[in-house]
Amino acid sequence: MSDHYIFSNGRIKRKQNTIYFESKEGRQKALPVERVDNLHLFGEVDLNSKLLNLLTRYDVRLHFYNYYGYYTGTYYPRTKNISGYTVVQQSAHYLDSAKRYYLASAFVDSGVHHMLRNLRRHQEKTGAYIDTIQAERAYIFDRQTIPELMGIEGRIRQTYYQSLNRVLKSDFLFEKRSKQPPADPLNALLSFGNSLMYTTVLAEVYKTVLHPAISFLHEPSSKRFSLSLDLAEIFKPLIVDPFILSLVNNRVIGKKHFQRFEGMVLLNEEGKKRFIREWEKKLATTVKHRTLKRKVSYRLFIRLECYKMIKHFIGDERYRPLKAWW
């Protein structure tokens, strides 16, 4: 099972129980449905209910991105993994302020652990930033409200981003985080990577009995799967940030892989393809798990985090967030 990405405009259809993509130029590509886990659509793609019925049968998710490469939504088949008891307990942990804060602070502290992990690899250049972040980190478990926690996380992330220029080896410069729109190539990479991280987390949450809209750090709201935003706090600094630094420092992606459009900087099509090719390699990278005693991919680490949350909700085992040891 794997993810597939479509950048061209065209039509995706069902033909003899197989997925076919037909470009505007008439080129066809077959995608055996039993080998597809997620389909990511970056181009303007037409489809119909006949295709959706096939995707539903084989439990394939469709992720949609707009012209700028930003995630806009997901079609996912009817939920097959259902546990009313787990959802009730998940909701109860949101409604209890102490239980909610425990989970929210765990996500933030794990993320900060991974930020510091990244900076310690360049400690001779980032020592002052590490000290500032560690001082702020001490307040994470000393506050009571989610807004206070978000404030701590925001200050830490601002310091963290300021340190990036100390470790970048190319002519990429980082002035400040700008999301909508990204003002420079590094912000474009971060926005694109975070968008892919969000859909990757969502796909793994969907494979469990967790409810994707009941979250703890980010306020639950309509029209978004906010639990994916919570879990992404752990994995953005663990996966996305060092991955982007590697792309830039190893010159896999350069200035020629960007375009300026309506006042924003975006990856062009070749840049997106290069990014995703390396992204899939990164998610497939394996690490020897200390508890399971076997190799686990970065993608599977996300699902394991979901399973740990389920155990926490039903009272089997207190949740301890992932903190990379390798």
Binding residues, by number, are 153, 218, 233
Tell me if the bond preceding 212 is cis, omega within 30° of 0.
Answer: no
Yes or no: say if 100 and 137 are a contact pair by the CB < 8 Å rule.
no
First vs last Cα of the chain: how many Å apart?
27
Q: Which residues are annotated as a binding site for Mn(2+)?
A: 153, 218, 233
Distances (CA, A) of 39 to 18, 128, 144, 259, 308: 13, 43, 41, 25, 27
Yes or no: say if 116 and 75 are a contact pair by the CB < 8 Å rule.
no
Yes or no: say if 43 and 50 are a contact pair by the CB < 8 Å rule.
no
State the Cα angle at 114 between 38 and 312, rounded to 5°. 70
15: β partners: 18
Pairing relation of β-strands 10-15 and 45-46? Answer: parallel
Instruction: Please name which of 92, 88, 137, 90 lies closest in space to residue 111, comparing C-alpha atoms.
Output: 137
